[in-house]
A and B are shown apart, each in its own frame.
Chain A
Amino acid sequence: MKKWIKVSLIFAFLLFSLAGMAQQQRFPKPEFGTGYSQPTPITPEPRALALEYTDVVILLIVLSMASYFAIRKRSRKGLLWLSVFTLLYFGFYRDGCICSIGSIQNVALTLFDPGYAISITTLLFFLIPLVFTLYFGRTFCAGACPLGAMQDLLIVKPISLPEWLRKTLGIIPYLYLSLAVLFAATGTDFIICRYDPFVGIFRMDAEFHMVVLGIAFILMGMFVARPYCRFLCPYGVLLNWMSRFSKWHLTITPAACIQCKLCSDSCPFDAIDYPTDEKQSKNRTWGVNRFLVYALLIPLWIFIGGFAGSKAHTWISKANPTVYLAELLITKPDVRNDLKNLDVQAYLSSGKSMETLVKEATVIRRKFYTGGWIAGGFMGLVIGMTILRQVVYRKRTDYQPHKGNCYSCGRCMGYCPVKK
């Protein structure tokens, strides 16, 4: 019986082999050895759904470990190795995508475009770090963000920036968030992904100018710690808000602060609040008056911001390809004859009429007008609140990490001589 099976198998093998040979003879492989190499696409291939869920599970594990290391274990070393893992896994292995920072745009698009549905994994990447931050502070920044890890590991000689500069640059993330949401909501572009300075390094296939951008940020990060996180990251805005209300948060000292000041210069991100000066609280009436004036000015700031945003909508909306194309075809009709202009040729071959294109562009521009009011108003609110905070006095007796700005990296913990 076994022999019969063997013979059958050999016969079948020969039969298939001969069939393959005949096929090869009939249609030999075309010869196209031309040296042409297909450019690699900018976005990575989608992952299998099971792997995406695995990523969510790994994110949960990493966040749990980061929170454990930051709050319970108080281990800087643990956080450091966790960020190395994050850099390798979420950065280099997963090509930096999906990331929680970029997921803001997916959420915005799904809220404003009924034709777009966010995937559950993207939504989880957006929500989970926010929920963790609400409980444990910004442990996501400490151990689960590949962009943060990349910058954190390359800090060489951090310098302290003057407060006025920090406050001024600190407005940029709000502006970036406003624009990112506006652009995503209008279906214009995902600018967070497009100008992610490190994604090209993770994928090892960035265009030259993006390599320059990535290297510039890395070099800058050697002296200004985490420049992207502090002065650009739009997700950091949301994390900052959540962290301010966090139930638990990393502390410099495990017990009572002994005011030794050893930790005062330990934070490369200038995120340690010093004990308040008693003299500051003496002129209370003057402070209250200023607070009231600044608070009353906030609606004015919102209006000015909204008005400026609405006025800028014409210019900003040119970032939308449909709006730009419509304007281009109206102002430069000759561009239709430019065969090398792929966008114009793609539009012409689509068979879409000029009237339809203009109608679409008008709808998008109207969205930008409304969005301009909202985004501008939001920026007005941010500026108003930033000014207002200058006169808000909160009494502090100890050296404490700023709950909103602290990345829970744990550097300061090692400087504290107090043990449990």
Chain B
Amino acid sequence: MKNKGIVFFLIILAVVIVVVVALDYNASKPDQQPANPYAYNIDPFSRIDTVLIHYKESRNLAISFSEPTGISFRGDELFVVGDQKLQIIEPTGKLMNEVSFDQKPTCVYASTENIFVGFKKSVAILSRDGAKITEWNSFSDSTVITSIAEKSGIVFVADAGKRMIRKFALDGKSLGIIEGKSGNDQIHGFIIPSPYFDLAFNADGELWVVNPGKHSLENYTVEGALRTWWQASSIKVEGFSGCCNPAHFAFLPDGSFVTSEKGMVRIKTYKPSGEFSGVVAAPSKFAENSEAPDLAVDNQGNIYALDLNKKMLRLFVKK
């Protein structure tokens, strides 16, 4: 046979061609596709150096909520909302009081005199013993209330749907809005891609607001003028990543920030200047695809994290 070697070589090539086509055809089926080539493996970033973890989980309290949503701490009591109720709990876990609502609360804030419970489009004001005082319903259709704080008789309501902070007097009178904007293009308002928009006052009475789309925390005057800000955009432990983080924050007694993030769930602390301080809870502390826990801090600087997935209150104390 002429060209025996070439013919043998050609047969091998023909087999290779058929095998490659057959394998490729088979591999493109929905249940046989290779791993997503666009997937971004963030596992290396979820592993935290233990030296950076400054807190330990001292205990946790099971709560009787199927869908907890928010937490606040005032005096010596914890205020937890979710489902269609508010529970007032002692730090020992003892239930002190429970108030029912006809809709699901989204957030809670307790001042020295009142409890403010936020719903998607309304705010209920209760006395500290749980008696309903009034309810504000005059919000727009696109309102999504995500956080409340009060200072010197002015109530600040974070409206993620309208991307603004609404100000009210205690009698419900509107005192204006804060949009975080100015004529200057450099300050173009709050960027809220998803309903995570938190605000809080620090011990010095300064209003701090998360601008999640910018990964920043911004300090505004009561009138709404931007005073200062800090930003930390990074997938690394020092910063915030994703579309909208931090999801929640609270203040430690010394003015440091405690932040919680969604996506790669982690709780961290930042100095009052915004400099990264350390980690409270690493991503490994939370279940996969968990939501960002809401935060509260007691007078001793212990951090309560409301774990929405495990449905428990987790207490972190300094090592």
Mark A residues whose CB is within 8 Å of B: 22-23, 26-28, 30-32, 34, 36, 38-39, 157, 159, 194-195, 197, 209-210, 212-213, 216-217, 219-220, 223-224, 318-319, 321, 324-325, 328, 332, 335, 340-344
Contacts and interface: CB of A to CB of B under 8 A. Distances in A.
List the 7 closest A-B pairs by CB distance, nearest first: A30-B233, A343-B30, A220-B13, A39-B37, A26-B186, A31-B234, A213-B20
A23 B9 CA distance: 65
Given A28-B231, A223-B10, A324-B30, A159 B3 contact: yes
B36 A340 contact: yes
15 contacts: A26-B186, A26-B187, A30-B233, A31-B234, A32-B241, A36-B40, A157-B6, A209-B23, A212-B16, A219-B13, A223-B9, A324-B30, A332-B31, A341-B30, A344-B31
A238 to B, nearest CB: 22
B234 A321 contact: no
B319 interface: no
Nearest to A39: B37
A181 to B, nearest CB: 17
A22 B185 CA distance: 11
A159 B3 CA distance: 8
Interface string B189-228: 0000000000000000000000000110000000000000
Contacts of A340: 35-36
Given A157-B6, A342-B36, A209 B234 contact: no
B155 to A, nearest CB: 29
Contact of A32 (B6, B36, B234): B234
Interface string B16-38: 11001101110001110101111
A209 B186 contact: no
Indicate the size class of the contact surface on chain B: 35 or more
A30 B234 contact: yes
B29 A212 contact: no
A342 B33 contact: yes
A209 B20 contact: yes
Contact of A34 (B20, B31, B235): B235
B186 A22 contact: yes
Contact of B13 (A30, A216, A342): A216
A22 B182 CA distance: 15
B30 A328 contact: yes
Contacts of A325: 30
A31 B233 CA distance: 6
A209 B16 CA distance: 10
Contacts of B25: 319
Contacts of B23: 209
B215 A30 contact: yes
Contacts of B3: 159, 223
A216 B38 CA distance: 29
B239 interface: yes
Contact of B38 (A23, A38, A197, A335): A38
A216 B16 contact: yes
A323 to B, nearest CB: 10
Pick from B13, B29, B35 the residue with the most CB of A within 10 Å.
B13
A343 B234 contact: no
Contacts, number: 84
B319 to A, nearest CB: 28
Given A39-B38, A224-B10, A335-B31, A27 B17 contact: no
Interface of B: 2-3, 6-7, 9-10, 13-14, 16-17, 20-21, 23-25, 29-31, 33, 35-38, 40, 45, 185-187, 214-215, 231, 233-236, 239, 241
A344 B21 CA distance: 24
A328 B32 CA distance: 11
Contact of B20 (A212, A318, A332): A212
Given A26-B186, A31-B239, A220-B10, A341 B20 contact: no
Contacts of A38: 38
Contacts of B30: 321, 324-325, 328, 341, 343-344
Contacts of A212: 16, 20
B7, B30, B214, B215: most-surrounded residue (chain A CB, <10 A): B30
Nearest to B240: A30
Contacts of A159: 2-3, 6-7
A23 B17 contact: no
A17 B102 CA distance: 56
A342 B13 CA distance: 34
A294 to B, nearest CB: 30
A327 to B, nearest CB: 10
Contact of B235 (A32, A209, A341): A32
A345 to B, nearest CB: 10
Given A27-B231, A340-B35, 11 more contacts: A26-B186, A30-B215, A31-B236, A36-B40, A39-B38, A210-B20, A210-B24, A216-B20, A324-B29, A332-B31, A342-B36
A157 B2 CA distance: 13
Contacts of A30: 215, 233-234
B234 A216 contact: no
B132 to A, nearest CB: 38
Most-contacted residue by chain A among B3, B20, B21, B231 (CB, 10 A)? B20
A220 B10 CA distance: 6
